[in-house]
Structure 1
Amino acid sequence: MAHRWLHDLIGTLWSLLTDRPVSLYAASVLRIGYGLLYLVFLVREFPHRDEIWGPGSPWTPALAQQLFDQTGWNSILLLSDSRAYFELCYVMALLTSALFMLGWRTRAMSVLFAVVVTSFHARSIFMTDGGDNLILLMTLYLVLTACGRRWSLDARRERLRTARADNAPVPVRSFYAQQLQDARITLTTVVHNCGILVIAAQVCFLYGSAGLYKIQGPTWGGGTALHYALNLELFQPWPALSHLVDEYPMVIAIAGYLTVLLQVAFPFVLFGRLKYPVLTVLLGMHIGIAVLLGLPLFSGAMIVADAVFLPDRFYAFLPHLWRRATRRTGMRRPAPARAVGSASVPPQGRPVEPGSKHRAPAGQQGTAPG
């Protein structure tokens, strides 16, 4: 009995891994989210690009190279000391982030985007916050996924190509060509599903480890951790708002306990409907971190990472919900009614047989053939 159960379980997992790609919409949301986040990050730091990554950075190329010799990292920004070369790399990074977000030639753009993020992260690893660490990991994982099959320019081009090829004759392939095509599809599906699994596992590990580390600290157990965080000058973008929130110690203590509880329980609630309220509370927590502590890049990276746990049916329903909302608010005007005598065929009445007492309905008399 146990052998049969194990055999059925392995067969189910193998079918889940090889039958079809999972979470295609979620992968596209991750592509759009991280591409947009890094594009906004580069645009925001454009006036300070030389101090952070350029030749004028306090973390000089010589110091970066010494670190690379110890860690094994590398960066395309150190291939030349020319300022013109650095400016060209920065413009190409902006362009790559935009094209990756839009899903243009996603296979190639995902690799280039990973190279860009890795190079900028390694060039000045001590000059940015912790948000780009998660973005770096996710960009490496997204290379494995088919993140351009939904909500992308590639998907639009594929739809147009399929529509044009509907009436074209199907080319006859040889047996070996068909076998190679099937093997390619299966391999792509397996790699994509493994990439999605690794992304989900990374987020679960992040939340679980963060919750377990918090439990070991006395400030989280005493409910005062958020009080000390709100009074750090380095993390006070709006001091007045931080002091206002700090005036409610009971709320701060409850928020701290709830944060630890959700982070520890997160990996265990993913297989039921309880994950939806948990993800909603985590969304509010990350928004609070972005506003109160001034870490929008980290919060945005975590919010986008949480999107991998929403099913595809949720994302497929969003366009229908958007169209319904636009119709209710009047943003989209209904299609104009066709005038009488247009290309539509008018309703035809029944022919009235001689001597019959039944008459055609009003408005349809005279439409029957004589």
Structure 2
Amino acid sequence: MDRETSLVTTVHRWLLDRVGALWALLTARPLSLYAASVLRIGYGLLYLIFLIREFPYRDEIWGPGSPWTPALASQLFDQTGWNSILLISESRAYFELCYVMALVTATLFTLGWRTRVMSVLFAVVVISFHARAIFMTDGGDNLVLLMVLYLVLTACGRRWSLDARRDRLRKARAAQAPQPVKSLYAQQLEEARVTLTTVVHNCGMFVIAAQVCFLYGSAGLYKVQGATWGGGTALHYALNLELFQPWPELSQLVNEFPMVIAMVGYLTVLVQVAFPFVLFGRLKYPVLTVLLGMHMGIAVLMGLPLFSGAMIIADAVFLPDRFYTFLPLLWRRAAQHIGMRPERRQTAGSGSVPAQARPEVPASDHPRAVRGG
């Protein structure tokens, strides 16, 4: 009886410790702030390039002159529940104004100006353009749509943004001025706001990572069921689809190596199925490298740059912050190696970026960030 009681007590204590560690991880500090910023810059810039690229054809795709007329779009909205600000008016001047505002919104979101507000506006832009001509794109905007909705929840403007620069300058000025004494209520309210923002951000990053895992896992399992993927001929048929041959000569050249095509097909299935299971070890780095090559091949050989770009950017969520903080050091070393001597910034600790943790909690007391976001 004593042994059973001791076992129950041990299990109970272990569960409490696990729950406490998970709660501390969720609330102590926002995780993967650099990865969130990479997602913001990546998707904002990708959609901006997409809008600029389609600028000559904007009327045929989304405007009043589109074959998918506003009346047809409204009928579809009645069935799907979608909506679009582009259908508020059928005036051409209104459409041109919406297009210019979409370009401005994507630019400001990429730069990280008033990111909280711009993330919501950017999500409205992506939803509106996606819903207006849902059958006109290659499907890559589906992932962009999901990601921009998730990014609304994250603190994606804390790094590499105009907001971060403004926050640095404000803190530098505040450090030289006397600090006002806050009431106990104001301090508690501020702590509650910081905790809520941290929890929402961490949950948003977790949802993004889970979405990418689901995409790869389901795609790999779906391929396993296909006879062409099992036979190693799936990529051969894909290379011979006229609809996905931006450079037919290049597709035919690659198609002349059937053994290589079969091996790449098997490797693709293996990597996609294994992806969710390798995220917490170093094996994820070669897997991400293989996926990078796969998406670049899809973009070049099949002419799907929007889809490939969206997937490559999504993979960035699994790279830890120490990877992104190492990039400037790598750049300085490369610049010194080729003879360039960039100006060295004065960085007092991590003074070049806002602190992730709350001021009253020492950074050493925080749990380490979960690898892979």
In the superposition, the TM-score normalised over structure 1's length comes to 0.90
Q: Match for residue 254 of structure 2?
A: 245
Q: SS of 2:332's equivalent? A: helix
Going from structure 1 to structure 2, the CA distance change for 1:221 and 1:328 (only over 3 Å counts) comes to same
Instruction: Write the distance in 1 (CA, Å) between the matches of 2:323 and 2:45.
Output: 21
Going from structure 1 to structure 2, the CA distance change for 1:333 and 1:121 (only over 3 Å counts) comes to closer
Higher relative contact order (CA 8 A, sep 6+): 2
Q: Match for residue 31 of structure 1?
A: 40
Q: Match for residue 212 of structure 2?
A: 203
Instruction: Write the distance in 2 (CA, Å) between the matches of 1:20 and 1:139.
Output: 22
Q: What's the CA shift string for 1:139-198, capped at 9, x where partnerless? A: 000000000000000000111111111111111000101000000000000000000000
2:116 aligned residue (103, 107, 124): 107
1:178 is the counterpart of 2:205: no
Q: Match for residue 97 of structure 1?
A: 106
Q: SS of 1:22's equivalent? A: coil
Q: Match for residue 152 of structure 1?
A: 161
Going from structure 1 to structure 2, the CA distance change for 1:17 and 1:288 (only over 3 Å counts) comes to same
Q: Counterpart amino acid of 2:317? A: V
Going from structure 1 to structure 2, the CA distance change for 1:216 and 1:334 (only over 3 Å counts) comes to closer
Aligned residues: 335
Equivalent residues of 2:332, 2:342 under 8 A apart: no
Q: What's the CA shift string for 1:99-130, capped at 9, x where partnerless? A: 00000000000000000000000000000011
Larger C-alpha radius of gyration, 1 or 2? Answer: 1
Q: SS of 2:175's equivalent? A: coil
Mapping for residues 33-182 of structure 1, pairs under 5 Å:
33-182=42-191
Q: Which moved more, 1:160-169 or 1:118-127?
A: 160-169
Shift of 1:326: 1.1
Shift of 1:66: 0.4
Q: Counterpart amino acid of 2:301? A: L
Shift of 1:3: 1.8
2:310 aligned residue (301, 314, 326): 301
- Structure 1 residue runs of 4 or more that deviate by more than 6 Å after TM superposition: none
Q: Counterpart amino acid of 1:75? A: S
Runs of 5+ consecutive residues of structure 2 not aligned to the other structure? 1-9, 345-373
Equivalent residues of 2:45, 2:106 under 8 A apart: yes
Going from structure 1 to structure 2, the CA distance change for 1:268 and 1:163 (only over 3 Å counts) comes to same
In the superposition, the TM-score normalised over structure 2's length comes to 0.89
2:329 aligned residue (300, 315, 320): 320
Q: Match for residue 349 of structure 1?
A: none
Runs of 5+ consecutive residues of structure 1 not aligned to the other structure? 336-370
Q: Match for residue 320 of structure 2?
A: 311
Going from structure 1 to structure 2, the CA distance change for 1:214 and 1:314 (only over 3 Å counts) comes to same
Q: What's the CA shift string for 1:273-301, capped at 9, x where partnerless? A: 00000001100000000000000000000
